[in-house]
Amino acid sequence: MTKTTFPDYENSILNLMSSVLKHYGLETGKSYLKTISPADLSGKQNIILIILDGYGLNLLKKYSNKESNYLYSNLLTEISTVFPSTTTSAITSFSTAQTPLEHGSLGWALYFKEFFRLITYLPNKDHVLDTELDEKKYDAYKIISPKNIFKQINMHRPDVELHYLTQEFLSDTPFTKIITNPCKRHSYKKSSEMISQISKIVKKDMQSEKFIVGYSTLPDGFEHEFGVYSDEVKNYIKKIDKNIKELSPKLKGTNSTIIITADHGLIDIDEYIYLNEIPEIDDCLILPPFPEPRFVSFFVKEHKKSDFFLAMNEYKNDFLLMNRDEFFTSKILGEGAVHPKIDDFIGNYIAIATGKKGFKYKFRNIDKSTNLKANHCGITTDEMIVPLIKIDIL
């Protein structure tokens, strides 16, 4: 039986960002993280935030005796991610310091009525055809219009150098540009290169105050493909632990704080259930379900609501089913000013994974048979809880 955890918006990645922004003289309206308060960062020349995609607390603990020994020895505490526990939502929360309710970026595939399309949000693709979209013609980001903490820091503290490191294939994407401008962006191929670049950036001008964010799509990518506790994931964790351990002495004398955390964790999937193959459910739907296999928004025909609820009862052991009112009352998306697109993304009913299954929808004449071995976006503890690691270097 899997354990479930709801987001804790008093002890989350959002509260971490609130503490960081306060260090630069900015208020977010969110409470500060108790374990890393603004006072804990006071006087630091360099704040280095490393986000390892999919590096849930479950992984850190699993390999704590050997492969992740250094990072585990510097584990400060555990915190929750936001909900939905997915990169789209969590990375946007990191870069905006907003709850998902406020920023509206709720998942991988989002239906934009403005274009009459289901759009894979981060790469800006047609979700059904898996084809590139003209970013000027289909500008989903302009509609969502995410805010950007780096612009805020730059306006308030123009003396602070801002740096963002990510893989080559992400460095110049529209989404990366929007959420990181006016940072100086640095690209890399391997995570070891990201760590070495961080060292060079810090040492280039020792007098300059810097905020550096390093983002890696791993171990998430390996977990999706090979499984959470696969050898590929284990080997990556061993390498990144070694890389960061080697970084620490290189930064001696720079008065830096390194913070390492994740956007979410993952869980291995036992089964994907294709909703289009279940007539009792499919016949009730107005739109295909989205945005993710483990967080599903259903737009149900008014006269079919009772039929839908009855059919979904079969999956109550693996999914939490809520109606729209229950979903918002739960405050699972956090609090704040509601983003105007939330109404378009949240349907009559919501299903959130509590077990090891996922819902999918296969479109006619479109072969999308590849299923990921591990996934996220549910509310199991493995998906929701991430480590907070802090290394102070004088």
**pLDDT per position as a tens digit, 319-343:** 999 999 999 999 999 999 999 999 9
State the Cα–Cα distance between residues 204 and 187, nearest whole angstrom: 17
Query: What are the chain's domains?
Result: 13-267+380-393 (3.40.720.10), 270-374 (3.30.1360.180)
What is the Cα–Cα distance from 247 to 36, expressed in whole angstroms?
Answer: 21
Q: Residue 331: left (phi > 0), alpha (psi -120 to 50), or beta?
A: left
| pLDDT at residue 368, as a whole number | 58
Tell me if residue 45 falls in helix, strand or coil. Answer: coil
What pLDDT is attached to residue 367? 63
pLDDT at 366: 67
pLDDT in tens, 196-254: 999 999 999 889 999 999 999 999 999 999 999 999 999 999 999 999 999 999 999 99
Is 215 in contact with 166 (CB distance < 8 Å)? yes
What average pLDDT does range 365-371 have in this prediction?
69
* Model confidence pLDDT, tens digit, residues 170-202: 999 999 999 999 999 999 999 999 999 999 999
In this prediction, residues 362-376 reach a mean pLDDT of: 82
Rounded Cα distance between 265 and 81, Å, is: 9
% residues pLDDT > 90 (the chain): 96
pLDDT at 369: 61
Residue pair 54/223 in contact (Cβ under 8 Å)? The answer is yes
* Residue 186 structure tokens: 């640095």
CA distances from 327 to 83, 112, 298, 351, 384 (A): 12, 21, 12, 10, 17
Give residue for tokens 């306006």: 155
The reported pLDDT for the residue numbered 34 is 96
Mean pLDDT of 118-128: 94
Q: Is 175 or 366 the better-scoring residue by pLDDT?
A: 175
Three-class SS state of 346: coil
pLDDT digits (tens, 9 = 90+) for 35-51: 999 999 999 999 999 99
Mean pLDDT of 81-91: 98
What's the first-to-final CA gap in the chain, in angstroms? 45
Q: What is the pLDDT of residues 245-279, one digit of tens each?
A: 999 999 999 999 999 999 999 999 999 999 999 99
- Of the listed ranges 82-86, 200-204, 370-374, the least confidently predicted one is 370-374
Upper half-sphere CA count for residue 280 (Cβ side, 13 Å) = 9
Determine the 3-state secondary structure of 140 from DSSP. helix
Percent of the chain residues topping a pLDDT of 70:
98
